[in-house]
Amino acid sequence: MIFSPMDLEEMIIMHLERYGPDCRWMLARRLLGASGYRPSFDESEVDEACEDLVRKGLVEIRSIALKRGPTSSVKPWLKNRAREGHLRRPRCLLTEEGRRVAAQLRHEAHP
């Protein structure tokens, strides 16, 4: 299946709205609920589409945790990672304008 860049961008917006913030690596593999370890889309195409969405102001990339994770006395590494607040892979998340576009796309798909 071949998708145009605009179709891929729309799919990324819909994925982020439905499933929440996700990293680009995960977007290439799990876009709109796809399963499996092998990427469903070329990772470079997903990167380009994400960069284009960032330039348009629809997606924001953050490399810090959006909310603090669980802390545990049994697994101290969880507590340390939660305290640090940094993520290994930066997350893509929708901006306010991105949420408006996602709502518009959703209404076009299901009038």
Distance CA 26, CA 91 (A): 10
Name the band, by pLDDT with cuts 50, 70 and 90, for residue 2: very low
- Over the stretch 78-108, which tens digit does the pLDDT of each residue have? 565 555 555 567 888 899 999 999 999 888 8
Give me the CATH code for the 5-109 domain, please. 1.10.10.10
Distance CA 45, CA 2 (A): 11
pTM for this entry: 0.74
Report whether 109 contacts 79 (CB < 8 A): no
Strand (E) positions, the chain?
A: 22-23, 59-64, 86-94
Structural contact between residues 21 and 99, judged by C-beta atoms closer than 8 angstroms: no
Question: Hey, where are the domains in the chain?
Answer: 5-109
Phi, psi at 69, each rounded to 5°: -80, -175
pLDDT at 86: 56
In a 3-state reduction of DSSP, which class is residue 4?
coil
